[in-house]
Each structure stands twice: as C-alpha cells, then as structure tokens.
Structure 1
Amino acid sequence: MIAVDLIKRPARYLVIADDRDAVTNWAEHMRENRLPKRLVVHVERQADHPVEREAQWDELSGSTLDAGSESLSLLVYTAVSHGHAAHRAKREYALASAAARMGEAIDTHLEYGGRGWVAIRLADGGSDGELYGSYYDARDAQEHPERCTYFPISPLFPWTPRMCEEHLAHMADYGRRSRGLVRDFDAFL
C-alpha cells in the first residue's frame, strides 16, 4: 500500500520554463496590451535523498540543454504543490517584465527632466505616458484607478529596476490582501 501525504508542506520543486514566445518586437509594437507570459513545460518535486537529487538535477538540466533551445531554463522554487511552483514561476516572470516596463516609463519622463505624478498599471507596469500635477489628477485620469499605482517622479530620485520590482510586488500583494485573495501558504513563501 502506498502512503499518500495529503498535508501540503513546503518543498523544493524543479520547474522547466519556456520563454520563447513571451515577447516579440512585433507584438509589443502592434498590441500594447499583450502581456508577456512564461510557459511552464514541466514541474517535478525535488528528491529528498542527495544522490537522487543530483541525478534528478543532471537529468532535467541535460534535457533542457538537449532541447537546443536557449529559451528553456531550469528553475528551483519552494512551494507546497506542483501547481503552486508553476504559479510562482509565472508570477516571477510577469513581475520582472512589469518592472522593466515600469522602469522604461519612468526613464522616458526623466529623460526630458519631467517632474510630477505618474500612473503605472499593476498588471503590466505600463503607463499612459502622461505626467500629472498631483496624485488626485493622476488617479482621476485613469479608467480603472484601482488597477494602478501612483507616485511622484523627479530627476533627484531615480528608480532602479529593483525598486520598480519591489514597488509592484508590494502594491499587487496589498491589493490581493485587501480583497481577501491571499491564501495562507502564499503569505509565508
């Protein structure tokens, strides 16, 4: 008889992800609302025994190299299930893409010495391209103000990619928590 563990405990999962068609220049220019997405190809729980773990790593990393695609990558996540590990891989990629787009929007304004308030969409890190005189002006100009974050920008305070990523993650988590969408295991991972 095989014993099945029904209690979800954090474990390490190996995820093979494909970023091949995540972003193309044509799609970015033709459809601004297209969000880059990571395709999760395979998820496997990491073995407990060190020898098995090393063999498992060698097999999966070898299969990503044998595929001959530079877009495949082997990632490791701490999660409570296969689905949670896949979700974390997709969310990490979406957050990094949104942070890059947010940084580009801020840099575009700072390039011309702009000062004021900017509205950034939480979903993709994009902006409407406008600078506003106040928080309220920026919020009132948005079609869905609850889906954006607002903050002042100035040449005296440049934003780094890390700051953009942390800000978007914090605001997205704040929105999820305020709507009651956070599960217990998400709060600790």
Structure 2
Amino acid sequence: MKKAAKKGGATVIDPYLPRNGNFGYRVSRYELDLEYKVAINRLAGTATITAVTLASLQNFTLDMSDALVVNKVSVNGRRPAHFRSSGGKLHIALAAPLPAGAALSVAVRYGGSPRPVRTVWGEVGFEELSNGVLVAGQPNGAASWFPCDDHPSAKASYRIQISTDSPYRALANGELVSRRVRAGHTVWTYEQ
C-alpha cells in the first residue's frame, strides 16, 4: 500500500517523486493498443486500466504527459462527469462516488507527439531517435507515452499491442505473443 508523506504542506506518496503516483486505487493491469508513426513521431491509442478502489472514490488522477491529448475517457463503461489534463496529470471526476473495493476500468483514448519528461534526474521516458524511438520508463518516465499510476512501487501486468510501419520492429517488456503483418503495417503484441 502507498504511504503518504508531507512535503511543503502537501500530501505526497513519495518525497523523492513528489509529483508521481496517485491515491485511491491500485492498478492490476494495463492494456495498451497503440499505433506509432516513426517518421512523424505520432502516437495514437487507447489505454485500458484495470484497478480496484482503496477508499470511496469520486475524483482521481492518472500520471500523463502534457504532450499527449486525451480525446475520450470512460470509467466502468460510462463517461465521467468531467476530465481534464494539466500539470502532468489526467484529472477524472465521476458523477457518483465508487465505494472502497469497487472494480475500476478506465479507458483513455489519446494521441500526440510524445517527448521526454523533465525530472530532477534529467529527461526520462520517451526518446525520439533518427530511425525509431525508445522509452526508459524508470523511475517515472512511463507517463511520457501512456496514462498510468507512474511510481516504481505501482506494479501491474501489461498487454502492449503496437502497430508500426512494416520496416520497423516494436519491442516491449514481456513475451511476444503475436505478430501480424497486413497492408504495410505490423502489429506486435506483448504480454507481461
């Protein structure tokens, strides 16, 4: 369980990563369905996040880079009362609170041109190269390319499906479970 600390009057999860991590829920799984265009550094996709509430929850956040634009959000199959992105967070407000222990399924459709996240350790996360990209996610770079609970203590399983132009390969953590080629694109699916 995440432990809160006080820093400058604000409650934070970790004094070393004061802007990362989120209260009120625990993620068990991420399912990322992504399309990436290397030539123009364009990412589009849907992140489906499976979690359980730790307390009564009506408002919550996900860590997410401001370089990404959210097009649609659903929570347990319904539109939230409100959502907005600012300050590296996706803020979601529900019409009615969920009780502690409730299942939480959040689907976020988003896109943009990812870029690294600036931290006290320098830039981390998404790095555009001349012939591809790489992501160094630790300690807090995952939010540079998908909405998440981006703290090293927040462990979850993943399914990452990436569609790329066929000359490129997509590599991800986990085991490659499928590779499909169609119409100049290759879809790579990894499970972890």
TM-score bucket of the superposed structures, by smaller chain:
under 0.3
**Which structure's residues are more often strand, by fraction?**
2
**Which structure's residues are more often helix, by fraction?**
1
Computing the radius of gyration from Cα coordinates, the structure with the larger value is: 1
